Amino acid sequence: MFALSGRIEAADLPQLASLAADETSRVIFDLSEVNLAGREAILFLSRCEARGARLENCPGFIREWIAREKGGT
């Protein structure tokens, strides 16, 4: 489980991707303390979720944004 807090910025994504790739078991991101995320972070989280990662305690604004991105709007 990776607990994230504050901002998730594009500069953070390579390190997060590396950590998640090193995990042999299912990846879980706890997003309860995230208060800001850029589009790159939303796309990253969406891709992770599509590959089986769980987004726990996902703030509503992130969940809505992921849904909009999946819908292509």
Give residues with Cβ within 8 angstroms of 13, minimum separation 6: 40, 41, 44
> Which CATH number do you get for residue 59?
3.30.750.24
> How high is the pLDDT of residue 25?
64
Q: Is 52 left (phi over 0), alpha (psi -120 to 50) or beta?
A: left
Mean of pLDDT over the chain: 91
Structural domain tally of the chain? 1
Is the distance from CB of 20 to CB of 54 less than 8 angstroms?
no
- Domain span at residue 53? 2-71
- Over residues 15-40, the pLDDT tens digits come to 999 988 877 568 999 999 999 999 99
What is the model's pTM? 0.89
Is the distance from CB of 63 to CB of 29 less than 8 angstroms?
no
> How high is the pLDDT of residue 24?
54
